[in-house]
Amino acid sequence: MSGPSRDEATLLTRSVQGDRGATDALAPLVYERLRGLAHRLAERHRGDALLQPTALVHEAWLHLSEGRNDWRDRTHFYAIASHALRQVLVDHLRHEGAQKRGAGWARVTASDLRDASAQVDLDVLALHEALDELAELDPRAARIVEMRFFAGMSGDEIAAELDLSRATVVRELAAARLWLRRALGSGEAE
């Protein structure tokens, strides 16, 4: 993800200042990126209970546009969008009765988290619960995983958003993968 375009940066600034028109105009500029993220999430979970990418983006956009629009820049916006996408998925799966954790789904493994474009079935609820547990122990590591996995952000983008070095992001992501491997019950070796 490169730096914000002039139009995007202007609209983000105006949106933060409460300009609803700017928020509405921002939608088409970020729609395709969000739809691409939603499409990759949908590919990871081939179950019937997952929202279609377009519906996922629309729901996430509603969350983003109804909330506080305190986005600093494009990277910050996508970091917030990653959380919105995660929450929409979890809410939808819970609503659809996906309480039987893991029923018919493959487990999320540490290697699945390595590549945001990996083609694996995903138990979003199990990952959500594991990320919540990780957040209690290490909120920054959980946020790094969320930005990488749900927004497909690069190590450099995450580092810029969290004001960390890329090496710190890589190190914390590796540690989070190990922790998640244990939490998700995967015996897979890295």
Domain ranges of the chain: 6-183
Indicate the helix (H) or strand (E) that contains 85: helix 74-95
pLDDT at 132: 92
Residue 34's closest CA among 66, 5, 92, 74?
74
Residue type for position 129: E
Question: CA-to-CA distance for 49 and 105, rounded, in angstroms?
Answer: 11
Between 3-12, 53-62, 105-114, the lowest mean confidence (pLDDT) is in 105-114
pTM: 0.62
Residues 6+ apart with CB under 8 A from 135: 142, 143
Highest mean pLDDT among 24-33, 47-56, 171-180: 171-180
Conformation bin of residue 4: beta by default, left when phi > 0, alpha when psi is -120 to 50:
beta
Q: Which two tokens stand for residue 86?
A: 């995660």
Distance CA 72, CA 185 (A): 37
Using 50, 70 and 90 to split pLDDT, how confident is the model at 189? very low
For residues 38 and 131, the model is more confident at: 131
In sequence order, which ranges of the chain are alpha helices (DSSP H)? Answer: 6-16, 20-44, 53-66, 74-95, 124-137, 139-151, 155-162, 166-183
State yes or no: pLDDT of 103 exceeds 60: no
User: Mean pLDDT over all residues of the chain?
Assistant: 75
Can you tell me whether residue 110 is helix, strand or coil? coil
The pLDDT of residue 97 is 63
pLDDT of 45: 60
